[in-house]
């Protein structure tokens, strides 16, 4: 091993020990700097005899290039290390939950009402509304339910006065609509109704949606088609729907509509419907020989309970955030 | 209505199983709500023989018996001292047998003797309302057999919802007619043969509400227990046996649907019947031992003087059948439905009889019913018919209803087979004939619900089956209209929820005590005549009361940050309209751990302004004193010069009432007025030229100036002002007491050019002068 090789070994050992870029720089200055030992060797070339210069020069140059390479390799290794440690410092743990904005929710009652409205709007039904404090006439008499009619037993009524009551169903909206509008008619009306009945399965006020279609030739088949389509859209295409004869004073024939969730094993009533009674049409001045149609009414809570599996009707008016957040 | 399937078989043949029968009834309009097994809880009771009877050594009133069930001997103790050796009894071994209510027989210590079971009476088997003695078979029976089998107690009963228009179906014969029609079977109505001679009974009708009155007198009867088959039938439909006379009246009602009544003839002082209206104020003691004071107008069955019964509702205590009754008067009558209903409602007394009379009973079946009951009484109680009277002042006849084939087809959406139509009407006992286009149908008087063509369409449809009508959508389509108000309310919902508020749907009833806390802040609202509770006795004059209540519920259930809103009707005298209300407490951003701000009045108000700005509306807020809110921290909401609502921090007495210890911010305004103020949006192009901003900080002395004035001054200070907004608000260190610091940013610009510096500076200087001349201390200018 000659002097040059020994020098390289020495410098190499030094560089290997280096831990940061400053020390690399120190070695660079000590070797390749103005007064560095390699630079000194370079300067020495001109002092050598002509015949030795070429050989010596080449060796010094090789030496210089070797050192430069070692230094630059070490520099990049150290730079990479620095970069690595800096990026960890700057890093963000993305598993930390982001601070959230609070967004509220629409109450499930209105959520379901909106869904029902959407289904019927697409079939051409218009949204109308009516008063909650009603005249006895609109709530009962006009709907073919005179005083002392046993059907009134089914409506435990809240009274404000002898002639004013809290509507027991949304059906008075039918009368108000037909008094103000000529057929053909397609309307729906969702809103609050009241019954004086308060226990674990009954609320003193709840929500219904009413529908009415009057035209020249509307049939029971139209009633079935419209309601079956609506129920399946709302509750699922796999549901089975049946139309069971029933009685309402303001429709004739009348039906209740049941839905089966468990393949015909259990039927759950979802709405009442029927062909509008001719007496009701006469009460608003429509000729039942010219106009006919169907009406229906459904319980919004009922639909919501079936749709979401809610088993306690008292959840709806409680307005507990743990419930409200679900929808 | 309870229908016994076994009983039904007397009148119609039934093919298929119970489920098919149930479906047939349900799908023709008589909905089977429940399929019951009334005796299913009786278990393990077996036939046995008494083989030994000895007096109890420690009790005079008890006997100790040995009972043999054919394989084992048991010891029992009984208080029925009539039990003798060789009696055949119904024995329930301890721990295995249970009675009709499911109560399990237990071994007990009876004065030192341990029992192995008990002897059953008919009461424990559900066949009698009260038994004095244990049951004994009349003849020897095989030992160890199941009582359920021996008595044939494996009965099926349907609980059926009969709609108010079908009183005819409140009977076994009526429902048998339905089953027969659906299944094309023959209806077998029991024949009656007895001939009841007229005379020897005196009736007069002085009430218009008595449509027909028939009375039969039978002498020489014996009141005793009914036979087991009769007890079983009544028990299965929920009626417990009393005695052979009362049981027969119940049986006839359940069979024919016509309520009948029996008087003890010897307890009718004048021996005659006078039907008349109550004058009012009379007192009447009924069979149920209760005394009723009459309002007047009720129909009474009297002997001319003394009241015997409340017609169609309940019999009198003093004229009823007793064990010693020898002579009876059977009443088969029809009373006006409305009058019966009024009486039943007034007295809050509903009976099986009133339930039927108020729905309408056919007076034309009277003679049949009378013969049927007389035959049964003669066979079960003995006796001899003395005579009868039958008053029917205005007989009713069948009606005729015409139905055009066109209308039937139009309703059904197909043309029905004429043979099917005539079969259905005939099976329902309507005589039908058809000419070219119309059906002419004679309606029997037991179907008073049928008066128009559509009623006949229903009869056809329900028997034909709604399932057999196609489901189509062939109505002409009508393009729906836009309902802007409805859409606006939904927009409000989306805006409010996006600001973090959860929608409430509360009751529309409120607590008047809570309302009083707000003084005259809310107007008087309608009161309910019959509320469910005092806390729900008025219609809400404001959404806030119930919203605060809901907020309270949540705070009490570990929800500390609550932001609620509600859209709904509020009520004033003769007026109802829709409002929106908001309440808020706790953190502004509860889910943002970098944001620790708590709700404040300004932030809360900012939410309202955000909503108004969305609709391009400017809400003005003016401080005002409002009852129910904290002084100085509340005010009115003004839109277009009109007050539409209020906002503020709730007063302490309000939060105390709800037992809350937190600042609650609340606001409410008239949603309909806001909707009406919304203008149709007009597009204006924006300026193409750059604008300049100037900021100005100042101290504002509370009570002397309002920020709204400063903004107004700034807005009108120059034609170049495009916008003025508050960009900072501060109180605390460095701000004089009773003052606050605000910074406003004024935007200067022009539609047609870039403003020059001197124009902006000139305008800005002018504004500063204006403000200083009003005494406002300017702080910083940029």
When the pLDDT of each residue in chain A is averaged and rounded to a whole number, the result is 91
- Render the burial of B444-469: b for 16+ CB within 10 Å, e for the rest: bbbbbbbebbbbbbbbbbbbbebeeb
Q: Report the percent of chain B where pLDDT is more than 90.
A: 91
Q: In angstroms, rounded to a whole number, what is the distance separating the alpha carbons of residues B200 and B142? A: 51
Q: Is B598 on the interface with A (CB under 8 A)?
A: no
Pick from B611, B770, B623: nearest CA to B708: B623
Burial class (CB in 10 A: 0-12, 13-18, 19+), B414: middle
Q: Is B475 on the interface with A (CB under 8 A)?
A: yes
SS3 assignment for B625-655: CCCCEEEEEEEEEEECCEEEEEEEEECHHHH
Triad B684, B685, B691: Cα angle to 5°: 115
Q: Which residues of B touch A244 (CB under 8 A)?
A: 26-27, 29, 31, 466
Answer yes or no: are the C-beta atoms of A285 and A180 closer than 8 Å: no
| Closest B-chain CA to A317 | B506
Q: Given pLDDT bands bounded at 50, 70 and 90, which one contains residue A263?
A: low
Judged against a pLDDT cut of 80, whether residue A76 lies above it is answered with yes
Query: Looking at the domain that runs over A108-324, which CATH code has it been given?
Result: 3.30.930.10
Q: What is the DSSP letter of A326?
A: T
Answer yes or no: are the C-beta atoms of B262 and B316 closer than 8 Å: no
Q: In angstroms, rounded to a whole number, what is the distance separating the alpha carbons of residues B241 and B234? A: 7
Instruction: Specify the pLDDT at position A56.
Output: 84
Specify the pTM.
Answer: 0.87
Identify the weakest region by mean pLDDT among A67-76, B20-29, B333-342: A67-76
Pick from B163, B178, B127: nearest CA to B8: B178
DSSP letters along A248-260, please? ETTEEEEEEEEEE
Beta strands per DSSP E along A50-204: 126-127, 133-135, 164-166, 185-194
Distances (CA, A) of A56 to A4, A47, A60, A70, B416: 10, 11, 6, 21, 123
A-proximal residues of B, 327-386, CB under 8 Å? 337-338, 341-342, 358-359
Does the distance separating the beta carbons of B563 and A225 come in below 8 Å?
no
Q: Pick A220's closest partner by Cβ from B413, B532, B592.
A: B413
**Min Cα separation B267/chain A (Å):** 34
Q: Is A186 on the interface with B (CB under 8 A)?
A: yes
Q: What is the DSSP letter of B266?
A: G
Record the tokens describing residue B159, joined without a space: 């609980």
Q: Pick A196's closest partner by Cβ from B532, B561, B565.
A: B532
| Closest B-chain CA to A197 | B532
| Closest A-chain CA to B489 | A110
Q: In angstroms, rounded to a whole number, what is the distance separating the alpha carbons of residues B255 and B192? A: 14
Q: Given pLDDT bands bounded at 50, 70 and 90, which one contains residue B782?
A: low
Answer yes or no: are the C-beta atoms of B475 and B467 closer than 8 Å: no
Q: Pick B475's closest partner by Cβ from A213, A247, A316.
A: A213
Q: In angstroms, rounded to a whole number, what is the distance separating the alpha carbons of residues B517 and B618? A: 31
Instruction: Specify the pLDDT at position A153.
Output: 73
A-proximal residues of B, 536-565, CB under 8 Å? 536, 539, 550, 553-554, 557, 559, 561-565
Q: Give the other-Cβ count within 10 Å of B547's Cβ.
A: 25
Q: In angstroms, rounded to a whole number, what is the distance separating the alpha carbons of residues B630 and B614? A: 29
User: For B468-486, how does the pLDDT look when each residue is reduced to its tens digit (9 = 90+)?
Assistant: 999 998 899 888 888 999 9
Name the residue with higher pLDDT: A231 or A39: A231
Distance of CA B624 to the CA centre of its chain: 45
| Crossing angle for the helix pair B484-498 and A108-122, to the nearest 10 degrees | 140
Q: Is A125 on the interface with B (CB under 8 A)?
A: yes
Does the distance separating the beta carbons of A101 and B592 come in below 8 Å?
yes
User: For B75-98, how does the pLDDT look when each residue is reduced to its tens digit (9 = 90+)?
Assistant: 999 999 899 999 999 999 999 999
Q: Pick B500's closest partner by Cβ from A103, A217, A228.
A: A103
Q: In angstroms, rounded to a whole number, what is the distance separating the alpha carbons of residues B183 and B72? A: 50
User: For A92-133, how does the pLDDT look when each residue is reduced to its tens digit (9 = 90+)?
Assistant: 999 999 999 999 999 999 999 999 999 999 999 999 999 999
Triad B158, B163, B167: Cα angle to 5°: 90
Q: In angstroms, rounded to a whole number, what is the distance separating the alpha carbons of residues B48 and B67? A: 6
Q: Pick A218's closest partner by Cβ from B461, B475, B483.
A: B475
Distances (CA, A) of B738 to B101, B631, B636, B697, B731: 78, 16, 22, 17, 9
Burial class (CB in 10 A: 0-12, 13-18, 19+), B35: middle
Answer yes or no: are the C-beta atoms of A306 and A268 closer than 8 Å: yes
B-proximal residues of A, 252-291, CB under 8 Å? 252-256, 275, 277-278
Name the residue with higher pLDDT: B510 or A61: B510
Mutate: best of A104, A294, A318, partner B, most B CBs <10 A = A104
Distances (CA, A) of B415 to A200, B38, B109, B476: 47, 45, 76, 21
Helix (H, G, I), strand (E, B) or coil at B770: helix
Burial class (CB in 10 A: 0-12, 13-18, 19+), B31: buried
Q: Which residues of B touch A277 (CB under 8 A)?
A: 454
Distances (CA, A) of A52 to A45, B60, B243: 9, 150, 148
Q: Which residues of A touch B536 (CB under 8 A)?
A: 204
Q: Pick B528's closest partner by Cβ from A109, A160, A244.
A: A160
User: For B392-438, how does the pLDDT look when each residue is reduced to its tens digit (9 = 90+)?
Assistant: 999 999 999 999 999 999 999 999 999 999 999 999 999 999 888 89
Q: Which residues of A touch B337 (CB under 8 A)?
A: 148, 150
Pick from B446, B327, B467: nearest CA to B397: B446
**Min Cα separation A178/chain B (Å):** 16
Q: Which helix (H) or strand (E) holds B66?
A: strand B59-68
Does the distance separating the beta carbons of B475 and A215 come in below 8 Å?
yes
Judged against a pLDDT cut of 70, whether residue B644 lies above it is answered with yes
Tell me the β-bridge partners of A246. A254
| Segment B268-272 mean pLDDT | 94
Instruction: Specify the pLDDT at position A61.
Output: 87
Instruction: Specify the pLDDT at position A247.
Output: 95
DSSP letters along A159-222, please? BSSSSEEE-SSSTHHHHHHHHH-PSSEEEEEEEEEE-S--BTTB-SEEEEEEEEEEESS--HHH
Helix (H, G, I), strand (E, B) or coil at A291: coil
Does the distance separating the beta carbons of A244 and B29 come in below 8 Å?
yes
Instruction: Specify the pLDDT at position A250.
Output: 96
Q: Given pLDDT bands bounded at 50, 70 and 90, which one contains residue B140?
A: very high
Record the tokens describing residue B607, joined without a space: 């939410």
Does the distance separating the beta carbons of B26 and A244 come in below 8 Å?
yes
Q: In angstroms, rounded to a whole number, what is the distance separating the alpha carbons of residues B79 and B465? A: 58
Q: In angstroms, rounded to a whole number, what is the distance separating the alpha carbons of residues A40 and B164? A: 122
Q: Which residues of B touch A114 (CB under 8 A)?
A: 490
Mutate: best of A120, A220, A226, A313, partner B, most B CBs <10 A = A220
Does the distance separating the beta carbons of A158 and B454 come in below 8 Å?
no
Instruction: Specify the pLDDT at position B440.
Output: 96
Judged against a pLDDT cut of 60, whether residue A246 lies above it is answered with yes
Answer yes or no: are the C-beta atoms of B368 and B417 closer than 8 Å: no
Does the distance separating the beta carbons of B164 and A104 come in below 8 Å?
no
User: For B231-264, how does the pLDDT look when each residue is reduced to its tens digit (9 = 90+)?
Assistant: 999 999 999 889 999 999 999 999 999 999 999 9
Judged against a pLDDT cut of 90, whether residue A39 lies above it is answered with no
**Min Cα separation A88/chain B (Å):** 23
Q: Give the A:B interface size as CB pairs under 8 Å.
A: 242
Q: Given pLDDT bands bounded at 50, 70 and 90, which one contains residue A3?
A: confident
Q: Which residues of B touch A264 (CB under 8 A)?
A: none
Answer yes or no: are the C-beta atoms of B232 and B127 closer than 8 Å: yes
Distance of CA B555 to the CA centre of its chain: 32
Q: Is the dihedral of CA A304, A308, A310, A315 positive or negative?
A: negative
């Amino acid at each position: 091993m000659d002097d040059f090789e020994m020098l390289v070994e020495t410098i190499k050992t030094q560089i290997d020990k280096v831990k940061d870029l400053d020390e690399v720089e120190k070695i660079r200055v000590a070797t390749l700097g103005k007064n560095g030992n390699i630079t000194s060797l370079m300067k020495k070339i001109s002092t050598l005899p002509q015949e030795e210069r070429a050989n010596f020069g080449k060796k010094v140059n090789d030496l210089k290039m070797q050192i430069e390479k070692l230094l630059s390799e070490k520099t990049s290794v150290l730079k990479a290390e620095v970069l690595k440690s800096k990026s960890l410092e700057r890093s963000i743990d993305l598993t930390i939950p982001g601070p959230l904005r609070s967004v509220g929710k629409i109450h499930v009652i209105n959520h379901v009402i909106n869904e029902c409205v959407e289904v019927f709007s697409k079939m051409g039904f218009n949204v109308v509304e009516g008063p909650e404090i009603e005249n006895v006439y609109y709530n009962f008499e006009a709907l073919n339910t005179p005083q002392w009619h046993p059907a009134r037993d089914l409506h435990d009524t809240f009274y404000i006065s002898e002639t004013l009551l809290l509507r027991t169903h949304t059906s008075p909206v039918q009368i108000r609509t037909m008094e103000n509008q000529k057929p053909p008619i397609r309307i729906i009306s969702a809103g609050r109704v009241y019954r004086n009945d308060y226990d674990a399965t009954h609320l003193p006020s709840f929500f219904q949606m009413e529908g009415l279609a009057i035209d020249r030739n509307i049939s029971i088949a139209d009633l079935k088609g419209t309601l079956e389509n609506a129920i399946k859209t709302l509750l699922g295409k796999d549901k089975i729907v049946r139309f069971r004869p029933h009685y309402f004073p303001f429709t004739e024939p009348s039906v209740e509509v049941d839905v089966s969730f468990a393949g015909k094993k259990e039927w759950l009533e979802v709405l009442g419907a029927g062909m509008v009674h001719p007496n009701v049409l006469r009460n608003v001045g429509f000729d039942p020989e010219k106009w006919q149609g169907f009406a229906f009414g459904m319980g919004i809570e009922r639909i919501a309970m079936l749709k979401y599996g809610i088993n306690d009707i008292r959840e709806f008016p409680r307005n507990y955030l743990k419930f409200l957040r679900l929808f | 209505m309870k229908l016994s399937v076994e009983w039904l078989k007397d009148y119609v043949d039934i093919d298929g199983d119970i489920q098919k029968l149930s479906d047939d009834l349900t799908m023709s309009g008589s909905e089977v709500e429940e399929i019951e097994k009334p005796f299913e809880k009786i278990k393990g009771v077996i036939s046995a023989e008494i083989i030994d009877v000895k007096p109890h050594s420690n009790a005079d009133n008890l006997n100790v018996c040995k009972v043999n069930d054919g394989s084992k001997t048991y010891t029992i103790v009984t208080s029925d001292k009539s039990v003798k050796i060789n009696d055949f009894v119904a024995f329930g071994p301890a721990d295995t047998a249970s009675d009709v209510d499911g109560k399990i027989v237990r071994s007990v210590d009876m004065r030192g003797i341990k029992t192995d079971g008990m002897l059953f009476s008919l009461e424990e088997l559900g066949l009698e309302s009260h038994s004095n003695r244990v049951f004994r078979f009349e003849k020897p029976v095989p030992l160890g057999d199941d009582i359920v089998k021996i008595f044939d107690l494996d009965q099926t009963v349907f609980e059926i919802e009969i709609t108010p228009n079908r009183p005819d179906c409140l009977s076994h014969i009526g429902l048998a007619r339905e089953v027969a029609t659906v299944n094309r079977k023959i209806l077998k109505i029991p024949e009656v043969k007895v001939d009841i001679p007229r005379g020897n009974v005196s009736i007069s009708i002085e009430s218009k509400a008595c449509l027909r009155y028939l009375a039969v007198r039978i002498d020489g009867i014996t009141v005793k227990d009914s036979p087991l088959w009769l007890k079983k039938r009544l028990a299965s439909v929920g009626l417990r046996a009393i005695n052979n006379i009362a049981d027969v009246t119940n049986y006839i009602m359940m069979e024919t649907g016509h309520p009948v009544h029996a008087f003890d003839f010897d307890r009718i002082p004048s021996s005659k019947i006078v039907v008349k209206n109550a004058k009012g104020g009379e007192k009447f003691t009924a069979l149920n031992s209760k005394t009723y004071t009459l309002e007047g107008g009720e129909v009474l069955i009297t002997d001319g003087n003394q009241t015997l019964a409340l017609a169609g509702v309940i019999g009198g205590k003093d004229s009823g059948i007793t064990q010693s009754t020898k002579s009876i008067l059977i009443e088969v009558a029809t009373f006006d439905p409305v009058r019966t209903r009024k009486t039943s409602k007034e007295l809050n007394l509903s009976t099986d009889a009133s339930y039927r009379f108020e729905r309408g009973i056919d007076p034309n079946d009277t003679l049949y019913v009378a013969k049927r009951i007389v035959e049964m009484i003669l066979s079960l109680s003995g006796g001899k018919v003395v005579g009868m009277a039958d008053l029917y002042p205005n007989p009713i006849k069948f009606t005729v209803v015409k139905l055009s084939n066109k209308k039937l087809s139009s309703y059904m959406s197909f043309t029905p087979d004429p043979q099917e139509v005539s079969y259905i009407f005939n099976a329902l006992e309507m005589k039908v004939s058809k000419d070219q286009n119309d059906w002419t149908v004679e309606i029997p008087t037991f179907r008073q619900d049928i008066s128009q063509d559509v009623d006949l369409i229903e009869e056809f449809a329900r028997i034909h089956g709604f399932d057999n009508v196609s489901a189509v959508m062939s109505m002409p389509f009508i393009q729906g209209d836009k309902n802007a108000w409805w859409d606006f309310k939904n927009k409000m919902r989306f805006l409010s929820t996006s600001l973090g508020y959860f929608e409430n749907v509360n009751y529309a009833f409120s607590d008047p005590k809570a309302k009083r806390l707000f003084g005259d802040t809310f107007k008087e609202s309608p009161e309910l005549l019959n509320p469910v509770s005092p806390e729900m006795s008025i219609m809400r004059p404001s959404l806030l009361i119930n919203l605060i209540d809901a907020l309270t519920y949540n705070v009490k259930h570990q929800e500390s940050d609550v932001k609620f809103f509600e859209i709904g009707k509020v009520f004033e005298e003769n007026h109802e309209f829709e409002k929106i209300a908001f309440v808020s407490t706790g953190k502004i951003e509860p889910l943002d751990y970098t944001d620790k701000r708590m709700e404040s009045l300004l932030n809360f108000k900012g939410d309202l302004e955000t909503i108004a700005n969305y609709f391009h509306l400017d809400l003005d807020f003016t401080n005002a004193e409002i009852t129910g809110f904290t002084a100085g921290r509340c005010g009115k909401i003004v839109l277009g010069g009109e007050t539409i609502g209020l906002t503020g921090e709730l007063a302490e007495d309000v939060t105390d009432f709800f037992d809350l210890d937190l600042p609650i911010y609340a606001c409410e305004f008239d949603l309909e007025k806001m909707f009406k103020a919304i203008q149709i949006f007009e597009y204006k192009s924006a300026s193409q030229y750059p604008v300049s901003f100037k900021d100005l900080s100042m101290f504002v002395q509370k009570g002397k100036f309002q920020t709204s004035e400063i903004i107004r001054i700034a807005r009108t200070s120059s034609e170049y002002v495009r916008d003025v907004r508050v960009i900072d608000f501060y109180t605390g260190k460095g701000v004089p007491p009773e003052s606050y610091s605000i910074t406003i940013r004024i935007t200067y610009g022009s539609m047609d050019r870039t403003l020059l510096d001197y124009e902006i500076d000139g305008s800005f200087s002018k504004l500063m002068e204006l403000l200083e001349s009003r005494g406002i201390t300017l702080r910083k200018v940029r």
